[in-house]
Chain A
Amino acid sequence: MQNKQTFFDFDDVLDPSAQDATEEEVANARDEFDRLEAAALRNRSQTVATLSTIASIVAQTATPPFSHIDPHTTGLRAIGHAIDSLRLLDIETSDMTVRDLEACVALDLKRQFAALTADRTITELPETADIEAWGKGVVDKLLCRKEHGSQTEMMFDTESGKFYEFQHALLEEYARGGAIYVRPTAACLTLYLGTLTQGIGDIQTALAAVIQRQIARGEYHAALQTAHEHQRITRQHGEKIRTLKRRILSNAGRYSWNSTVLPEIQVAQRDVEDAISADTTLEELLDASMDNLPKERRPLAQRVLQVIKSCRNAYRELQTLAMELPRLYSSCIASQGFTSTHIPLPSMLHDVFTPLFSEVTEAKELLAACDVANAIFALPRPPVLHDIVAETELLLKPGLSAETRDMSPDGDEFLDEEDLALSIFDEVTITKAKNTISLMANAGPTQLSDIMKALEPEDFTEECVAAAIMISAAWAHNRNHDGMYAVSRTYGYFSCKACTGDDYLIERKGAEDEYHR
């Protein structure tokens, strides 16, 4: 307890409202009230928008026998499947794929059709393929897929006095480990679980009492049902702590430590403690009574115990998460680096594609823009380093330009052997190569490929190779060529009769101003 207290003893310097708190609180009371009211309005309007999505499933014009289906229950059950697939300890992670969900919805629909046939409302069951297609339609609607009408509503935020786009999908797809799963959106969880307004800890305690009574009476079926309810509220608790974490991450500076964050953490902690103690009592009770139970009752009691245990473990995790929030708040206040939602990002259709397609008339400009678009997705890759001696041997075999690059996996040995490589050329060749480089680089920044173009037509093939060796060696050793020419690699290649390789930019060191002049 002592430890926990020191954990919460937050440095007042971090709290913007700590100084002159009373005065400031009075001044800000009205603003705070308006802010809360705006937030409540926004939540309510988003819930209504989400509800309208379910209603739109009802409005689907279906022909018999599908017009007899109860779309409310179908939609809600589909959401229920997705919520139940969430992991207890990690409310953002589910193990259900879209196809799994479609199969569940199809199964629910089959049950409804079986009931309709029994009622004699319809004479025969529809084809399985039709049921599956209709089930897919329900899931698509809940996912707000593009082809199912508008994905967004324009809603008004009274706090900022502006309209914003609200995406009222109830389910969303997300990627985990290269596979795609489906999970309920935050709006959906709020809608589904948020009807409970009293403290979560109190509900858990009440539920624990109910389960205890059911166990005592031997009503294990009912106890399992209640334990599942208990599990759902655990998820809601997870959602509550997650919301708090998100708020801190999104804009910690806006929430005062003393008046907002600390009370919320304390309430969450108290709820968790209540729930854990209730779960522990239940677990003990079940453990104690397990041996005395008749054999046929044991598997059911075991399942109740399992559910209770998983809830208790989940609460332990949530408790750890809540304990970490003060540190998170402190680091967010210190860095304020998380507010990515405030950075305006471009629309890839209106700001990129449309102007690129319809306003860029010059091929050169289009190529420059395309290169940027292409390069964004190229991942950094370790380069293949070349063995310069082996390369030289290959370079001297004319006509085999494709083979002149040593791309073998073992070719990563790097040797400082520039002199050895150059020793096969006579001095006149080396001097000619050096002079051409200096001559061209003195005139302005030049590229190795340009030097090749100057040398090659005059049949200075050996000079080409010598120049290539000198420039690539200068780059590889991170030094200037001839002590005064800076060398940097470019995206392109050079190629002459005898050799090919990476292209380099050669600039005279410290001569930028001179060039500009």
Chain B
Amino acid sequence: MTTSLNVKGLKMNITVDAIDMAAEIIEFGLSPRKAQSSRRLLPLVAAYLANTEGTRTAAQTMARRFGLSITSVTEEGVVLSKDPEQRDSIFMLKRDDIVKEPGTEARLVRGICNAAILACAYQRQQALYSESVQTVTSEEVYELLIEAAAKMSVEDKEAPTSMRGFTEAAKIVERMKADSYSEKSNKPRKQTLRGQIDTAFKYFTDHSLMVKDSEDAGGTYKTLPELRVRLQTQGAQDIADAVLSAVKASSADEAMKEAMNG
């Protein structure tokens, strides 16, 4: 049995089987990774790779209609992302999908922790190409942040007390760096830098982007393929572009302030 699909003005005949498989691919992408069974996934991957005019076209068309894009379909799993061109998708993310706590401070802290975790995991460009698992520890991320903040204070000895001259990120780290542990569980308190790093790691492990390997060094985590695929396909470039434009906007603001003062 076949049905016809209109893609970019072309009428194509696609079997119901192909549509069924396409729908299953999207279902795989939307379901939590734990539920993905490789026995079910492999025939879908084969169909997606081989049947480009059937299963692949149907899956991509369906995904696009939902405001999604298919990032990768491999035996490691299906990775879907939000189609950047469709802002008004029903799958559009809400802020609390990422950070549960309200306010801008929580978003800032999470962003800085995420950037530090990624910096430790994918320090070299080549690491993003490699299929190897990367290991990151909570201690390593904490040290990276503390060292970066300390470097700022060394560079700007003029006003260390009021923290003038510090960047926004350094101010946050300076404010939160003091250690405080819960008496019961002996874990870092949530509002400390270590606590926030752990929360950021928890987000990665909850979303099957990383796996916790051991409790060594404050928690040792290993990267899972989906994290690399997300970064490799577009994510890394998007983050780097956003950082670049933030840097440019910051220096423009600085210049303007100086001009006004001068």
Binding site for B on A (CB under 8 A): 145-146, 152, 165, 167, 169, 172-175, 177-180, 327, 331, 340-341, 344-349, 351-363, 365-383, 475, 488-489, 491-493, 502
Q: Is the CB of B231 within 8 A of A376?
A: yes
Contacts of A145 in B (CB 8 A): 135
A365 and B129 contacting across the interface, CB-CB below 8 Å: no
Q: Is B167's CB under 8 angstroms from A175's CB?
A: no
SS class, residues of chain A in contact with chain B: mixed
Residues of B within 8 A of A351 (CB): 240, 243
Decide if B4 is an interface residue (CB 8 Å cutoff): no
Q: Is B62 an interface residue (CB 8 A)?
A: no
- A357-B167 in contact (CB<8A): yes
Tell me if B8 is interfacial: C-beta within 8 Å of chain A: no
B residues adjacent to A (C-beta < 8 A): 29-30, 33-34, 38, 50, 52, 68, 76, 80-82, 87-88, 90-95, 97-99, 104, 107-108, 110-112, 114-116, 118-126, 128-133, 135, 144-145, 148-149, 151-152, 167-170, 203-204, 207-209, 211, 213, 222-225, 227, 230-232, 235-240, 242-247, 249-251, 253-254
Checking B115, B133, B230, B254 against A352 with a beta-carbon cut-off of 8 angstroms, the contacting residue is B115
B125 lies within 8 A of A380 (CB): no
Bound-state Cα–Cα, A72 to B57, Å: 53
Residue from A358, A360, A361, A493 in contact with B151 in the complex, judged by beta carbons closer than 8 Å: A358
A401 → chain B, closest Cβ, in Å?
13
The interface residues of chain A lying within 8 Å CB-to-CB of B223 are 175
Partner among A172, A363, A371 whose Cβ is within 8 Å of the Cβ of B168: A363
Cα–Cα distance between A383 and B90 once the two chains are bound (Å): 6
Which of B82, B108, B126, B222 is the one whose CB lies under 8 Å from A363? Answer: B108
A92 — nearest CB in chain B belongs to which residue? B131
Query: Are A362 and B249 in touch, CB under 8 angstroms?
Result: yes
Q: How far is the CA of A361 from the CA of B80 in the complex (A)?
A: 34
Contact A367 B104 (CB under 8 A): yes
Q: Which of B80, B232, B236, B246 contacts A360 (CB 8 A)?
A: B246
Write out the residue numbers on chain A whose beta carbons fall within 8 Å of the beta carbon of B236: 345-346, 348, 352
Q: How far is the CA of A315 from the CA of B124 in the complex (A)?
A: 38
Residues of A within 8 A of B122 (CB): 347-349
B119 touches A348 (CB 8 A): yes
Q: Is the CB of A146 within 8 A of B108?
A: no
What residues of B have a CB within 8 angstroms of the CB of A380 in the complex? Answer: 29-30, 68, 80-82, 91, 93
Q: A173-B133, A370-B110, A371-B107 are in contact. Are A349 and B119 (CB under 8 A)?
A: yes
Q: When chains A and B are docked, how far (Å) is the Cα of A369 from the Cα of B122? A: 18
A345-B133 contact in complex given A352-B239, A492-B95, C-beta closer than 8 Å: no
Residues of B within 8 A of A360 (CB): 167-169, 243, 246-247, 250
Residue in B99, B213, B239 whose CB lies within 8 Å of A180:
B213
**Residue among A178, A331, A353, A370 with the most chain B CB within 10 A?**
A370
B118 to chain A, nearest CB (A): 4
